[in-house]
Each structure stands twice: as C-alpha cells, then as structure tokens.
Amino acid sequence: MAITAQQLADIRADIGDEDGTIWTDAEISRVWERVSGAANTLQRHEAALGLLVRQLLGNSAMLHNYRAGATSESLQQVYQNLERLYAVYKPSVESALGSNRQAARRWVKGAPRQDREYPHDYYEDDRRTRRNQSD
C-alpha cells in the first residue's frame, strides 16, 4: 500500500521536516515501503520514523565536540539525542523488518571447524595455539 498524503504529512511533522528540506517525498515513500511488514499502520508509522532517525544517526556519527578560543560546540549531543530517540522506535523497526536478534548473534559468533571430534577440542587447541605463538 502506497503512502497517503496524510501519512506523509504526519511523518514529516513527527520527524520535524515539515518544509521538506531533509527528505524528499520519494525517500520517505521508500522508507514506508521498507517497513511494509509491520503488523498495523501505527507500528508502520513508528518503524518509518525509526528508520529515518537511524539515517540521521548515521549522518551525525561524524560530529564531534570542539573548542576554539572562547567558543565551544558540543555536537556530540546531537548523536546522543538521536541515539536515545532511536531506542524509542527500535522495537517497531525490528518488528516491521523482521529482525531476529538471536540469529544475528549466531552468524556473527562463528562456529567450530567441522574436522574436530568434540566441541571442547576447539577451545583447547585455540588456547594451545595462542600459547605457542606467544613463546
């Protein structure tokens, strides 16, 4: 289902982009389509806001604090505030996108090699290898 003009206006108002300077209508429509797996319209709206905040979070990661003479700027606060805001929308984003946190952990962790007979061999051989390398 395509985004309606009212939904687009609501998203713009909630994210603070009422004049359209941050995102185009096409970009917001693309985000709306990405969260089409949401259970209902409210969750889809919150998930779309979460993805938009996540985009801002990525862009603000380059900001840092600096001091020049009598002037100091604490731009890292922008990142911290966006991080807190994303935490509010994160459950909706994960639900709409179908993120499975346990599966993600399993893929990142790695698995023992298949030529080992017992799982404990993996860890014992790894310790022996590290000890031999440090000698």
Q: For residue 103, is pLDDT > 50?
A: no
Answer whether 52's CB lies under 8 Å from 11's CB.
yes
| Residue 120 counted as domain residue | no
- Arithmetic mean of pLDDT over the chain: 79
| Residue 12 counted as domain residue | yes
Mean pLDDT of 117-135: 57
Looking at the DSSP bridge assignments, the partners of residue 72 are: 67
Which residue, among 106, 97, 114, has the nearest Cα to 35 in the 3D structure?
Answer: 97
pLDDT band at 133 (very low <50, low <70, confident <90, very high): low
Looking at the DSSP bridge assignments, the partners of residue 113 are: none
| Residue 37 counted as domain residue | yes
Q: For residue 89, is pLDDT > 60?
A: yes
Structure-block tokens of residue 93: 């984003």
> What's the domain count of the chain?
1
Q: Count the helices and strands in the chain (H runs, E runs).
A: 6, 2
Looking at the DSSP bridge assignments, the partners of residue 71 are: 68
| Residue 33 counted as domain residue | yes
| Residue 130 counted as domain residue | no
| Residue 129 counted as domain residue | no
Quote the pLDDT of residue 120.
Answer: 57
Mean pLDDT of 113-134: 57
Contacts of 121 (CB under 8 A, 6+ apart): 112
| Residue 45 counted as domain residue | yes
Tell me, rounded to whole angstroms, the distance of Cα 87 from its chain centroid: 9
Domain housing 9: 5-60+89-99
| Residue 80 counted as domain residue | no
pLDDT band at 121 (very low <50, low <70, confident <90, very high): low
For residue range 47-67, list pLDDT tens digits in order.
Answer: 999 999 999 888 887 777 777
